[in-house]
Amino acid sequence: MELLLCQVCGCIAAQNDDGVLWLQRDHRDDWPGWPEGMASVEPPICVPCVAVSLRHCPALRRGAVVVRVRDCSVVGVRGVLHRPGVLGPVAIGAVTMSYGDPGVRWVLASGLVRELRDCTLVRFEELADQAA
């Protein structure tokens, strides 16, 4: 996630003038303009791995979209939230938390979260024509 590598093969994720390529479950009904402002815990993807993911990921078979994202700043972490304990920190549970939340200092992070901004939905048929 930090280096914007493909979540499937680990090569550099696809990127062109419209932004970095992301493959997401289709949640366009969640809010107008989705995925604008969405927090993604999944890294981007390269063009060849889109087809691989669609074939092998059960969640994506229920509906997926490809998105180009121009602004994907790291805004937080996911991990395990802890609280102070007598013998040391005590795990409470899994969370996704922004860096702006004061509680983030109690999270043992396992991954970064990027906020997707300046998004453009791409039709799957257009991907074959995109070089990167």
Nearer to Zn ion, 69 or 81 (CB): 69
Q: Which one of the spans 7-15, 77-85, 105-113, 123-131 is the region binding Zn ion (CB under 5 A)?
A: 7-15
Nearer to Zn ion, 5 or 80 (CB): 5
Residue with Cβ nearer Zn ion (65 or 97): 65
Distance, in Å, from the CA atom of 98 to the CA atom of 110, rounded to the nearest integer, reads: 14
**Interface with Zn ion, residue 6, by CB under 5 A:** yes
CB of 57 to Zn ion, least distance (A): 13
Per-residue binder mask for Zn ion (CB under 5 A), 39-58, x = binder: -------x--x---------
Residue 20 binds to Zn ion (criterion: CB under 5 A):
no
Q: How far is Cα 115 from Cα 82, in angstroms, rounded to an integer?
A: 24
- CB-side neighbour CA atoms (13 Å) of 59: 6
Please tell me the distance from the alpha carbon of residue 80 to that of residue 4, in angstroms, as a whole number. 23
Tell me how far apart the alpha carbons of residues 89 and 96 are, in angstroms, rounded to a whole number.
Answer: 18
**Distance set, CA 79 to CA 12, 31, 59, 92, 106 (Å):** 24, 26, 22, 11, 10
In the complex, least distance from residue 45 CB atom to Zn ion, rounded to whole angstroms: 6
Residue 11 CB, nearest distance to Zn ion (Å)? 5
Residues that bind Zn ion (CB under 5 A): 6, 8-9, 46, 49
